[in-house]
């Protein structure tokens, strides 16, 4: 391997591993999410080093760009973000460690057995134009063209099945959101309130002078005026 | 450049390292110095359009204004709120600038390509998406409700406009058959360097949609809602001062410049133009660079023109513009792009269609005939879609602007 490639690989791998460890040890949950983004970007850089450009770009687009923002939004909307009293390391941390070591023990021998693939991967990681013809069959699906060909050829059926699954999820999300929407009341704009006051209709009030909710009167204003 | 260094006797890895460092330095220095004078240019042109003077005291025509401002921002006090999350607060502008600079890696400078990625188009989009992280970090790290609100609004806007922006590029990728910017530039070299995509109906609509969505991505007026001065005072940048604020400003301008470069590459033919191929060699490369910069700065002038004339949108208008106007048009454009590709390469790509299903063969037609059919059909589809969607949108706008008494009574009786 090229000396620059090795150096860059070591730096990126250490950064990725380090930020991965920070994700599970940092107390502040927002910081944890930010470290997660850093490790996503590190993985993307590793892909780029192996010249799997498409995978690297999709990693940034989907994980670093979209999933991380989703995670951040979810944390901010649902939790106490300071998390000072949150315990990071639990009593049975050694169980998790054992599972992780076991997985590692599966992955490393597998990679070792497919030695040719490993060799080819390191060959691919050389800086500069790499020969594409001599690459092992499993690694050829790396560029955008190859991925497109295999989606429209060899893997057409799985691709279609996944598309239908995603479409169903999309429709389901819309259905759920739509049901939610019909129950919500529309908030009047200032102009509408003014128009109401001009026409002599005032907000209904109870004996103490508090505004009676409109649902109590039986007149629910829907968000869309067409549905009313 | 790396090859030339290898010939001089450097080791191959060292020459790659040196060449890459030179490229990165050129991009960073060129980007930030160019941005300084773009701010001067923008303020001068807007003041001219609004009939006032603009910067004109420091140096001839106020040309040294950016330098004095740079010194001012560097010497200004750099305050951090006591309760802020110091590290996140510090890193947010760095993340923003880093995301912007990354996208400069794949921009073709005329005929020169710093890096020719296979998925360059996606790369630009992906690095644009990284902005939202920086925005979120700035908003949250400042420990200020206005900053957090501004950050949230900015992220929502970025996510909404990323969809039409990405989908506006799909027609170009379809027509070229590749996501590499180099291939896209080469594909627009027909007709003596004038076969730009903007001259086809598909490309024209795509250009308008992409540029509009990119204005929103780069937070330019009329979409500069995240930093809306009048409502939430500078948005996610509320707690930033001195050089950190300047870095935000720099990344904003550089990303707008990158948008101009990318638009010029995708739709206006990049460095292609009459005479580039005829000259060839170094002179042709120089001419292509000049063409490219001219096109990009013309686009930047359009941005300035829009800023000087169009008022800012409201948040709800912004969202419905993205989802109800841009998205349907983009979908129609993808459809007509596939018609375009099919009509131009019907018999080479799908001979089975004529053999098995008796589809009409265009094998006899000349290339010009096919082109005429393709232009006619896509023009019909796109113009029809634009007319229909604009009519629908206008109707909705009028309905929401003028609520009649009957509608009020209907809603409240």
Give the DSSP letter of residue B152.
H
pLDDT for B352 equals 64
| Residue B109 β-bridge partners | B112
The pLDDT of residue A162 is 93
Q: Which of A28, A65, A201 sits opposite B130 (nearest CB)?
A: A65
What distance in Å separates residue B254's CA from the closest CA in chain A?
Answer: 19
Are the C-beta atoms of B185 and B272 separated by less than 8 Å? yes
- Of the pLDDT bands very low, low, confident and very high (cuts 50, 70, 90), residue A85 is low
DSSP alpha helix (H) spans, B310-360: 315-320, 327-344, 346-349, 351-357
Summarize the confidence of residues B51-79 as an average pLDDT. Answer: 85
Instruction: State whether B130 and A201 contact (CB < 8 Å).
Output: no
Chain A contact present for B408, CB below 8 A: yes
Tell me, what's the pLDDT at B298? 92
Tell me the shortest Cα–Cα distance from A84 to chain B, in angstroms. 14
Instruction: Inspect the interface and report whether the beta carbons of B88 and A68 lie closer than 8 Å.
Output: no
* Nearest CB to B119; choose among A57, A199, A219: A57
8 Å CB contact of B411 and A34: no
Residues in CB range of B135: below 8 A, 6 or more apart: B92, B96, B151, B154, B155, B158, B226, B236
**Tokens representing B124?**
């630009």
Q: Are B110 and B271 a contacting pair, CB within 8 Å?
A: yes
Residue of B nearest to A4 (CA): B13
Radius of gyration of chain A (CA): 28
Confidence of residue B73 (pLDDT cuts 50, 70, 90): confident
- Note whether A57 contacts B88, CB cutoff 8 Å: no
* B252-280 tens-digit pLDDT: 888 888 899 999 999 998 888 887 777 87
Query: DSSP alpha helices (H): ranges in B238-280?
Result: 242-266, 276-279
ipTM exceeding 0.90, yes/no: no
CB contact under 8 A, B119 and A53: yes
In Å, how far is A228's CA from the nearest CA of chain B? 6
| pLDDT above 70: residue A119 | no
For chain A, report the end-to-end CA distance as a whole number of angstroms: 70
For the stretch A13-53, pLDDT in tens is 999 999 998 888 888 888 888 999 999 999 999 988 887 78
At what angle are helices A190-198 and B405-412 packed, to 10 degrees?
Answer: 90
Q: Name every residue whose Cβ is closer than 8 Å to that of residue A116 and which is 6 or more positions away in sequence.
A: A136
Q: Do B119 and A54 touch (CB under 8 A)?
A: yes
CB burial readout A154-191, b (16+ within 10 A) else e: eeeeeeeeeeeeeeeeeeeeeeeeeeeeeeeeeebeee
Region B395-409 average pLDDT? 57
Upper half-sphere CA count for residue A117 (Cβ side, 13 Å):
11
Tell me the range of A58-67, B308-317, B346-355 where mean pLDDT is highest. Answer: A58-67
Sequence-distant (6+) residues with CB within 8 A of B410 are: A225, A228
A144, B179 Cβ separation under 8 angstroms: yes
CB-CB: which of A31, A69, A192 is closest to B136?
A: A69
Asked if A4's CB is within 8 angstroms of B118's CB, the reply is no
Mean pLDDT, all residues of chain A: 73
The number of beta carbons lying within 10 Å of the beta carbon of residue A221 is 17
Residues of A in contact with B88 (CB under 8 A): 30-31, 34
**Angle A48-B216-A33 (CA atoms, 0-180°, nearest 5)?**
50
Q: Is the pLDDT of residue A186 over 70?
A: no
Nearest to B334 by CA among B193, B187, B164: B164
């Amino acid at each position: 391997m090229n000396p620059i490639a090795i150096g860059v690989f070591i730096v990126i791998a250490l950064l990725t591993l380090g930020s991965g460890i920070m994700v599970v040890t940092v107390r502040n949950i927002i910081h944890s999410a930010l470290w997660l983004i850093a490790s996503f970007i590190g993985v993307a850089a590793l892909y780029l080093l192996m010249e799997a450009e498409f995978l690297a770009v999709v990693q940034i687009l989907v994980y670093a760009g979209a999933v991380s923002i989703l995670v951040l939004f979810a944390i901010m909307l649902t939790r106490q973000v300071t998390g000072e009293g949150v315990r990071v390391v639990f009593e049975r941390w050694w169980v998790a460690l054992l599972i992780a070591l076991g997985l590692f023990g599966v992955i490393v021998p597998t990679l070792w057995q497919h030695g040719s693939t490993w060799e080819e991967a390191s060959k691919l990681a050389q800086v500069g134009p790499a020969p594409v013809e001599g690459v092992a069959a499993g690694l050829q699906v790396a560029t955008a063209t190859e991925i497109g060909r295999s989606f429209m050829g060899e893997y057409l059926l799985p691709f279609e099945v996944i598309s239908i699954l995603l479409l169903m999820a999309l429709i389901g999300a819309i259905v759920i959101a739509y049901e939610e929407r019909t129950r919500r009341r529309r908030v009047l704009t200032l102009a509408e309130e003014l128009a109401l006051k001009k026409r002599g209709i005032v907000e209904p009030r109870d004996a103490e002078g508090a505004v009676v909710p409109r649902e109590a009167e039986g007149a629910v204003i829907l968000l869309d005026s067409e549905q009313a | 450049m790396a090859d030339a260094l290898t010939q001089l006797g450097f080791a191959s890895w060292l020459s790659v390292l040196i060449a890459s460092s030179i490229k990165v330095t050129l991009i960073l220095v060129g980007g930030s110095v160019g941005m300084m004078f773009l701010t001067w240019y923008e303020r001068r042109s807007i003041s001219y359009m609004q009939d006032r003077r603009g910067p004109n005291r420091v140096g001839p025509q106020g040309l040294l204004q950016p330098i004095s401002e740079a010194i001012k921002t560097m010497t200004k006090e750099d305050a951090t709120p006591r309760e802020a999350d110091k590290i996140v607060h510090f890193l947010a502008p760095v993340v923003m600038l880093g995301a912007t600079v990354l996208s400069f890696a794949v921009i073709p400078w005329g005929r020169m390509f710093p890096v020719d990625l296979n998925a360059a188009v996606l790369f630009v989009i992906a690095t644009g998406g990284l902005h939202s992280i920086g925005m979120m970090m700035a908003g949250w790290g400042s420990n200020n409700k206005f900053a957090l609100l501004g950050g949230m609004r900015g992220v929502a806007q970025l996510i909404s406009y990323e969809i039409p922006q990405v989908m506006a590029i799909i027609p170009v990728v379809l027509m070229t058959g590749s996501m590499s910017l180099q291939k896209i530039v080469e594909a627009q070299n027909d007709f003596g360097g004038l076969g730009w995509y903007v001259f086809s109906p598909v490309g024209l609509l795509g250009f308008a949609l992409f540029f509009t969505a990119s204005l929103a991505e780069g937070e330019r007026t009329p979409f500069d809602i995240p930093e809306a001065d009048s409502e939430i005072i500078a948005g996610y940048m509320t707690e930033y001062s001195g050089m950190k604020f300047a870095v935000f400003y720099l990344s904003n301008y550089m990303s707008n410049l990158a948008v101009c470069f990318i638009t010029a590459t995708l739709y206006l033919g990049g460095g292609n133009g009459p005479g580039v191929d005829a000259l060839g060699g170094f002179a042709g490369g120089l001419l292509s660079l000049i063409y490219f910069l001219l096109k990009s700065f013309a686009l930047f002038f359009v941005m300035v023109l829009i800023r000087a004339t169009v008022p800012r949108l409201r948040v709800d208008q912004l969202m419905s513009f993205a989802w109800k106007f841009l998205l349907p048009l983009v979908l129609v454009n993808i459809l007509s792009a596939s018609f375009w590709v099919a009509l131009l390469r019907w018999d080479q790509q799908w001979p089975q269609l004529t053999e098995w299903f008796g589809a009409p063969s265009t094998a006899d037609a000349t290339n010009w005939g096919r082109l005429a059919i393709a232009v006619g059909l896509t023009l019909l589809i796109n113009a029809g879609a634009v007319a229909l969607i604009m009519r629908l949108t206008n109707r909705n706008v009028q309905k929401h602007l003028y609520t009649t008494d009957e509608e009020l009574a209907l809603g409240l009786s």
